[in-house]
Amino acid sequence: MSEVSLGQKYELATQVICKQGIVPFPVNDTTISILKHVIEGNEEELDFIYAFSQKTSQTMEQLKKSSNLPKEKIEQIAISLAKKGLIFNQPSSAGTMVYRLLPLMNVGLMEYTFMGELKGDEKEQQLAELFEKLMEEVRDQVQDNYDNLAPVFKMAPPVDRTVPMRTTENGKDIKIIPIDKSIQVPEEFVLPSQTVEEIINKFDYIAVGRCFCRQRRKMLGEPCATDAPMMNCFTFGKSARHTIAQGFAQKITKEEAFKIMKEAEEAGLVHKAFHPGSNESRPETSICNCCKDCCDTLNVWRDGALPLINSTYYLSVIDQDACTGCGTCVDRCPTEAIKLNDNEEAERDESSCFGCGICVRFCPEEAISLKEGLRKVFILPPRLRQST
C-alpha cells in the first residue's frame, strides 16, 4: 500500500480489525484513534494488519503471499504486534505456526493492554478513555436500533461459561441438587469441567495476569469498590504461552493457581471460563474472576450496550422457609437476579441466574442451593430510550 497515505492506511487497518471478534465495531474517529495510540505511525505494521483483510488466521506461507514480505520481516512485525495485543502467534496442535489478528475487544487489544503491569502514563490513560468512549458509542448504536438488534443478539452463542463456587463461606460443601430429568444435548457435546480445580488440573501451562477490567477502571478514576484482588486473570495452554511470551502474564504452578482461585472465591468473585469459538467441548483458554462493579461484561449490559449471553450448568434454588430476608444474596448477585418480595423473602429470577454460587456461598442461613441443569442465560440490555 505504498501509494496510500498514512491516514488512509490507518482507516483501512481499522476496518480490518473492527471486523474481528464477536462484536463488529464501527470505523470512526474513536476506533482509528485507538489504533493510532498503539501503532504510533508504523506503516509496516499497518500494511501487515491489512494483509489479514481476507483471512483472519494465516500460516507463514499464506502471509508471505498476502503481505508480500519475507519470512524474517513477517516474524519481526508479528512479534511487535503481538506485544501490542494485536496478533496471536502460537503454533497449532499440529505444530504449524499460526498468526491470528485479534479484535479491539473480547479478547484482544483492550484486554491484553490492561492485563500486564501498567506504567500509569498518559498513553495508557488516553487508551482507557478511548475504550470507554467506544463502549458509550456502542451503547448509543444499540439503543437507537434496539428492536432490530434484539433478535440478532438472541442468535449469538454464549460469550463465556460460569463455573460455580463449591464451598460456603465457612468451608462447607455447597448443596447440589441433582438434575431430576434427562436433558437433550447434541451427541458430540462433552460436558465441560464444572470446577476450577478440574480445569487447572488439565493444564501444564498456566499463567496469571492482572484483571484488565479492574486495572482499566482504576485508570478511569474508579477503583474497585470491593477492593478485589487484582492478580487473578488466568490463561491456559497455548493462551498461557502467548501471554507469558508477550509479558502480559507470568507462569505459575498448579498449587499457586489453586491458592489464587481460593482467594478469588473468598473475595466473592465469579469464575467465568472461555472456550475457543464458544465451543464448550474444547478445552478452556482462560478464566476471569469477576467483581460486580468492575467487570466490563456486566457493565456494558447494565449500561444498555450489549446483552449478557452465558452458559451455565447450575441454577440457584432458595428455601424461603429458611430465608430471613437479610438481603445478602440481593447485594451479592452479579446479574441482579434476586430481589426481596413483599414478605421480605428472597426470590430468584431463573432467566437471569448464572448459577455462579455467590449467593449460596455468602447466605448466612444456608437457605440457598444449586440445582443441576445445562442452560443458556440470555439477558437483553435495559432499554434506555423509546423508538422515535
* CATH classification at residue 77: 1.10.10.10
Let me know whether 155 and 80 are in one domain.
no
**Residue 356 belongs to a domain:** yes
Domain end, chosen from 116, 144, 172, is at: 144
Q: Report yes or no: 138 and 306 within 8 Å, Cβ to Cβ.
A: yes
**Residue 384 belongs to a domain:** no
- Tell me the C-alpha distance between 96 and 15, whole Å: 28
- Tell me the C-alpha distance between 329 and 338, whole Å: 7
Amino acid at 249: A
Q: Which residues contact 38 (CB under 8 A, 6 or more apart)?
A: 84, 85, 86, 109, 113, 127
Let me know whether 308 and 256 are in one domain.
yes
**Residue 359 belongs to a domain:** yes
Q: Report yes or no: 241 and 82 within 8 Å, Cβ to Cβ.
A: no
Let me know whether 176 and 224 are in one domain.
yes
- Tell me the C-alpha distance between 381 and 143, whole Å: 9
Let me know whether 330 and 256 are in one domain.
yes
**Residue 81 belongs to a domain:** yes
Predicted confidence at residue 184, as pLDDT, reads: 55
Decide the pairing of beta strands 368-379 and 176-177: parallel
Let me know whether 269 and 199 are in one domain.
yes
Element (H, E) at 233: strand 233-236
Domain count, the chain: 2
Domain end, chosen from 144, 176, 195, is at: 144
Q: Report yes or no: 41 and 6 within 8 Å, Cβ to Cβ.
A: yes
Beta-bridge mates of residue 230: none
**Residue 385 belongs to a domain:** no
**Residue 107 belongs to a domain:** yes
Let me know whether 114 and 172 are in one domain.
no
**Residue 266 belongs to a domain:** yes
349-352: list long-range contacts, CB under 8 Å, 24+ apart.
Answer: 350/315, 351/377, 351/378, 351/379, 352/377, 352/379
Predicted confidence at residue 190, as pLDDT, reads: 60
Amino acid at 316: S
Instruction: Give the residue numbers spanning the domain of 117.
Output: 6-144
**240-273, pLDDT tens digit by residue?**
999 999 999 999 999 999 999 999 999 999 999 9
Using alpha carbons only, give the angle 109, 114, 120 rounded to the nearest 5 degrees: 125
Let me know whether 193 and 140 are in one domain.
no
Let me know whether 36 and 13 are in one domain.
yes
Q: Report yes or no: 118 and 49 within 8 Å, Cβ to Cβ.
A: no
Residues of the chain short of pLDDT 50, as ranges, are 189
Burial label, 66 (beta-carbon count in 10 A; 0-12, 13-18, 19+): middle
Let me know whether 355 and 211 are in one domain.
yes
Let me know whether 340 and 308 are in one domain.
yes
Which residue reads 489478528 in cell numbers? 101
- What does the buried/exposed string (b/e) look like for 5-22 if buried means 16 or more CB atoms within 10 Å of the residue's CB? eeeebbbbbbebbbebbe
Predicted confidence at residue 179, as pLDDT, reads: 76
Let me know whether 164 and 290 are in one domain.
yes
Which residue reads 428472597 in cell numbers? 346
Look up the pTM and report it: 0.92
**Residue 1 belongs to a domain:** no
**319-377, pLDDT tens digit by residue?**
999 999 999 999 999 999 999 999 999 999 999 999 999 999 999 999 999 999 999 99
Domain end, chosen from 94, 111, 144, is at: 144
Burial label, 186 (beta-carbon count in 10 A; 0-12, 13-18, 19+): exposed
Let me know whether 197 and 225 are in one domain.
yes
